Amino acid sequence: MTPSSSPIPDLAALLSLAHDLADAAREVIRPYFRQPIDVDLKVDHTPVTIADREAERVMRSMLADRVPEHGVVGEEFGADRAEAEWVWVLDPIDGTQAFLSGQPTFGTLIALLHNGTPILGLIDQAITRERWVGAQGEGATLNGAAIQTRLCTDLSTATVFATSPAMFQEADAACFERLSERANLVRYGLDCYAYGLLALGFVDVVAECQMELHDYAALVPIVEAAGGVISDWRGEPLKMGSDGRVLALGDTALQMEALRLLDGEQAVE
Amino acid sequence: MTPSSSPIPDLAALLSLAHDLADAAREVIRPYFRQPIDVDLKVDHTPVTIADREAERVMRSMLADRVPEHGVVGEEFGADRAEAEWVWVLDPIDGTQAFLSGQPTFGTLIALLHNGTPILGLIDQAITRERWVGAQGEGATLNGAAIQTRLCTDLSTATVFATSPAMFQEADAACFERLSERANLVRYGLDCYAYGLLALGFVDVVAECQMELHDYAALVPIVEAAGGVISDWRGEPLKMGSDGRVLALGDTALQMEALRLLDGEQAVE
């Protein structure tokens, strides 16, 4: 690849490829939205549809054509060359339950990892045609317009999101309750879209757990490039192999308090 | 008014007026979405913004011009002639918290009551430009296309929605838990939009409480016209003066089981 002034070699080409993947996934997904389609349950009892599978297939096929030396990790079809220097992480439909309920807040997640660290992320909402992009060393955008997180230095004024209260089991539930009971407002139900709203400056905190690499990898560069901070519940960077606990904050000033309330050390198995 | 073949005198004119109100509210609301705006807290500690107030004002002004003999009950500016034969019930932004979080799932609710019973209802999502309409004796529509609820004869396959687990206090929380633990999936966070998805056939049950007349009046004709059933937790029709507990089902066959699980008698103060 041609060296450039960006910390990422040939970032423009990689961003262009990410957009092409998202365009292709969007065209696959849109015709299935709010149509009666079959739902299969995976071994983890989460649902999957032909829309998830076809969207991932078309993205993997494009990657095999254009960057055959890169690795790919996808929610539906697993890992190829996951040890490669450059690895694409794909979640064709993050929020399949929202998709199946006709709720236009699911998202296609596309991340590029360099040596295990997410350096480029994209969230695409196929129905509302909203696309968030963030890359290390670059700003974050929504449909091409620069965005940034908002200030929030006091948790008692914060809006906190999580996809569902049911994702917090046992010790994690107590941790989340300590955080959420200090917040101004707790809302549920948005999957990746909540991180997009955080990057856009309308949500202050997202705390979740039971997240897989394909759920969180794309969120990291977007939240960071928008001025926020995202980590596990111990404040460690999210990367391949993280434990699935995620804390995103629009204002870095809240991070210490939020981590203390989540009591990350206690939450670790 | 001119008599017509519909059970409602001059339904076409009343529907046209409802659309005009929704058009006007939409134009007020859209420019405020995802903009920094001031938030005031009402006496019940719920938020209100200039968008709520301006949208209700423009609708009330139109009603005063076009049907001065009709009553109006609005969330933000109270009741005028609430004892009239025909009363319009307005919620300019149902889901102000969603609106403030940048989430395009809030809705403008417009209902027309005849002697206290909702006979025409409209949900308008100003950002996605989705509009649900239902009227007694007529079908339900989304953006003009006929819609209907889906079959669901087994609660263990049902998708259940509620705006927030925090709306269920004390005995109501136990009632909702009995219902939700039998369901296939419980999701939160959509306000009136969940009833739209139920009418559209992608959600099976919505159970909520602490609802005011302006929250539920518009939902009744939409859910019923789409083939579903909506009542309080004792199975009684929703009307002016209901206790704020709402149960909507896409398939009437589930109603008895859902009412039994909600244990309406116990839930009553």
Q: Which of B20, B41, B167, B19 is nearest to B96 (CA)?
A: B41
A1 by DSSP, 3-state: which? Answer: coil
Evaluate whether A11-147 and A155-266 have a shared fold: no
Q: Does A202 touch chain B (CB under 8 A)?
A: yes
- Shortest distance between the Cα of A237 and any Cα of chain B, in A, equals 26
Q: Where are the domains of chain B?
A: 11-147, 155-266
According to DSSP H, which parts of chain B are helical? 11-29, 50-66, 96-100, 171-180, 193-199, 213-216, 219-225, 255-262, 264-267
**What is the side-by-side strand order in the sheet with A130-135?**
A78-80, A71-74, A86-94, A107-114, A117-125, A130-135, A140-142, A145-147
Contacts of A161 in chain B (CB under 8 A): 101
Q: Residue B31 burial by CB count (10 A; 0-12/13-18/19+): exposed, middle or buried?
A: exposed
Cβ–Cβ of A103/B190 closer than 8 Å?
Answer: yes
> Which of B98, B159, B202 is closest, CB to CB, to A34?
B202
Cβ–Cβ of A159/B100 closer than 8 Å?
Answer: yes
Contacts of A103 in chain B (CB under 8 A): 105, 187, 190, 193, 197
Cβ–Cβ of B166/A185 closer than 8 Å?
Answer: no
CA-CA distance, A64 to A91, in Å (whole number)?
17
- The CATH number corresponding to A155-266 among 3.40.225.10, 3.40.190.80, 3.10.400.10, 3.30.230.10 equals 3.40.190.80
Per-residue pLDDT tens over the stretch B222-250: 999 999 999 999 999 998 899 999 999 99
Contacts of A34 in chain B (CB under 8 A): 200, 202
- Shortest distance between the Cα of B136 and any Cα of chain A, in A, equals 25
Any idea what DSSP says for residue A237? P
CA-CA distance, B237 to B243, in Å (whole number)?
11
- What's the full length of chain A, in residues? 269
pLDDT of residue A175: 95
Per-residue pLDDT tens over the stretch A218-258: 999 999 999 999 999 999 999 889 999 999 999 999 999 99
pLDDT of residue B3: 43
The rounded Cα A220 to chain-centroid distance in angstroms is 7
CB of A210 within 8 A of CB of A244?
Answer: yes
Question: Which residues face A211 on adjacent strands?
Answer: none
Q: Does A97 touch chain B (CB under 8 A)?
A: yes
More confident residue, A269 or B175: B175
Q: Does B37 touch chain A (CB under 8 A)?
A: no
How many CB contacts within 8 angstroms connect chain A with chain B? 74
What is the ipTM metric for this complex? 0.93
- Shortest distance between the Cα of B10 and any Cα of chain A, in A, equals 33
pLDDT of residue A267: 43
CA-CA distance, B207 to B262, in Å (whole number)?
9
Q: Which residues contact B22 (CB under 8 A, 6 or more apart)?
A: B108, B110, B122, B124, B131
Retrieve residue B171's tokens: 């005995």
pLDDT of residue A46: 85
Q: Does B173 touch chain A (CB under 8 A)?
A: no
Per-residue pLDDT tens over the stretch B18-34: 999 999 999 999 999 99
CA-CA distance, B263 to B247, in Å (whole number)?
12
pLDDT of residue B189: 93
Classify domain A11-147 at the CATH class level: alpha beta
Q: Distances from the Cα of B83 to the Cαs of A26, B63, B69, B218, in angstroms?
A: 51, 16, 11, 18
Q: Distances from the Cα of A234 to the Cαs of A117, A167, A226, A264, B188, in angstroms?
A: 17, 18, 21, 5, 28
Give the pLDDT band (50/70/90) at residue A215.
Answer: very high
Q: Does B256 touch chain A (CB under 8 A)?
A: no
